[in-house]
Structure formats: C-alpha cells, structure tokens
C-alpha cells in the first residue's frame, strides 16, 4: 500500500512535466509576430510612403544642329503602390519636339518588374495628343534597365516605346552607360510629323563621374535617326533625319 502511495505522486509529477514540455514546444512552434521580429520591429514595414526624382538626361547635344534634351522621372508611394511621372523632350532652334509627359499607377508583378498603367500627353510645339498607356518597367538579367510601353488613342492610333540602358561600372565613380530608345506607330500623323512603322530611334553612350550618387556630370555621343514616312515629313520641313552629336550634361537626383 505504501508503495502504491509513493508511485501515485511520482506519476502525477511525471504527467505535469510532460504537459509542461508539450506546452513549451507548442509556444515555440507558433510564436506571435512581435516576439519573432528582431529587436521588437514589426515584420511588415512596406506601407511607409517614399518619394524619389531623377533627371537621367539633362544635356546639350552639339553637331550640325545643336539641341537640348531632358529625360526624367519621379515617383511617390509605398513598396507596392506608386504614382509615377515621366517627362522627356528635345528643344531645337526654338521649338520643342518629342515632348512626352506620362502619369502612371505602378505595382510590382514580379521581384524585378512593375506593371504600369496610365496616360500620356504629347506636349510640345506641335498639336497635342492624349493616349492611354500600359507597360512594364524594371531590371532584366545582368541589371539591364528596360521599359516597354503600349499606347492607344482615338481613330485606331496605336504606338509603342521601347527603352533600355545599362550602367557599366569602370570604377566606383566612373560609369559608362549605353542607352537606346525606339518609337513605333500604327498610323501616320502628319500634324505631329509622325509616320507609321518604326518612326525613330535615339541612342547614346555616356561616361559620367559621380561626385556623389546625387550629382554626376557626363560626356558622350548620341545618335538620332528617323525612318519611313517620319523621315519624309522631316525632309519636307527641311529638317535633319539623322544626326551624330557630341553630348555634355548632368545626371541628378532631386
């Protein structure tokens, strides 16, 4: 009888120890969000609002016909929802050509690419045009920055723009950047001097020196060419359909 009384408390103690160990294991397997985050930081911090602006091209182009060109973009938003503004254009002999202003809603669809939808308005010295726009923007393999955008407007006019650039680091401050842009259109638009098919390309290579990430002067060379009916419209206006120019400019973060 005494032996049974001795074994009973021992069994109770053993059961309590087993239940305590099981409870501890369950707590380790399903920790709460705050206790699992390092230093008490919430594991999800993607709703903060940020803003960024950059002038990729702010340059003079010097050759047979001198010109000034700008190309820049800015965005504001969170990691998943952003509002983008893009602007580019070129001023030659007192008139502005290729003035494109774009406003997009942007959202990531993969780790490296965003889907962008919005509007574009051609605002320069020629008649304005409004377009609906849909495209992708991001980093292709080997850190090639690419953008492909499709446009549509009234009367069955469609267009597309393809852009690409790559930063080749020669040193931590000297960076060589090749760049290419092509525009295609489905129909002629004589008011804007645009022909169907491949309309024009703009290519360049720029060597910049980064005093800081926010300020980098550069030198380089650019080449512009027009094709098909676009070139014909330009010839009728006694313009130049192709040009190789020396380039000097500044790349800035704002």
Tell me the CB-side half-sphere exposure of residue 124, using CA atoms within 13 A: 22
Q: Rounded CA gap, 56 and 44, in Å? A: 32
pLDDT reported for residue 93: 85
pTM: 0.81
The token pair at 215 is 């300020």
Q: Cβ distance 101 to 121 under 8 Å?
A: yes
What pLDDT, on a 0 to 100 scale, did the predictor assign at position 128? 97
**Per-residue three-class SS string for the chain:** CHHHHHHHHHHHHHHHHHHHHHHHHHHHHCCCHHHHCHHHCCCCCCCCCEEEEEEEEEEEEECCCCEEEEEEEEEEECCCCEEEEEEEEEEECCEEEEEEEEEEEEEECCCCEEEEEEEEEECCCCCCEEEEEEEEEEEEHHHEEEEEEEEEEHHHEEEEEEEEECCEECCCCEEEEEEEEEEEECCCEHHHCECCEEEEEEEEEEEEECCECCEEEEEEEEEEEECHHHHHHHHHCCCCCEEEEEEEEEEEEC
Q: What is the pLDDT of residue 65?
A: 87
Listed in sequence order, the residues at least 6 apart from 111 whose beta carbon sits closer than 8 Å to its beta carbon are none
pLDDT at 177: 98
Note the pLDDT tens digit of each residue in 58-97: 999 999 889 999 999 999 999 999 999 999 999 998 899 9
Q: In DSSP terms, which residues pair with 160 in a beta bridge?
A: 150, 184
Residue 45: predicted pLDDT: 60
Residues of the chain with pLDDT under 50: 1-41
Residue 46: per-residue pLDDT: 63
């Amino acid at each position: 009888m005494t032996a049974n009384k001795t074994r009973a408390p021992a069994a109770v103690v053993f059961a309590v120890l087993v239940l305590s160990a099981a409870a501890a294991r369950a707590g380790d397997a399903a920790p709460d969000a705050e206790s699992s985050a390092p230093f008490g930081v919430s594991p999800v911090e993607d709703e903060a609002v940020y803003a960024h602006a950059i002038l990729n091209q702010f340059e003079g182009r010097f050759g047979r016909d001198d010109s000034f060109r700008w190309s820049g973009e800015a965005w504001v938003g969170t990691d998943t929802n952003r509002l983008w503004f893009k602007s580019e254009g070129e001023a030659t002999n007192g008139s502005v050509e290729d003035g494109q202003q774009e406003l997009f809603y942007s959202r990531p669809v993969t780790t490296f690419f965003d889907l962008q939808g919005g509007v574009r308005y051609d605002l320069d010295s020629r008649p304005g045009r409004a377009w609906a726009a849909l495209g992708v923007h991001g980093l292709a393999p080997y850190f090639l920055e690419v953008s492909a955008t499709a446009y549509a407007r009234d009367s069955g006019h469609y267009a597309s723009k393809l852009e690409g650039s790559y930063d080749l680091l020669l040193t931590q401050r000297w960076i060589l950047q090749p760049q290419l842009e092509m525009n295609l259109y489905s129909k002629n638009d004589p008011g804007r001097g645009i022909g169907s098919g491949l309309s024009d390309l703009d290519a360049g290579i720029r060597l910049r020196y980064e005093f800081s990430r926010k300020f980098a002067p550069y030198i380089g060379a650019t080449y512009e060419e027009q094709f098909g009916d676009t070139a014909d419209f330009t010839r009728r206006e006694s313009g130049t359909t192709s040009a190789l120019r020396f380039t000097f400019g500044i790349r800035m973060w704002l």
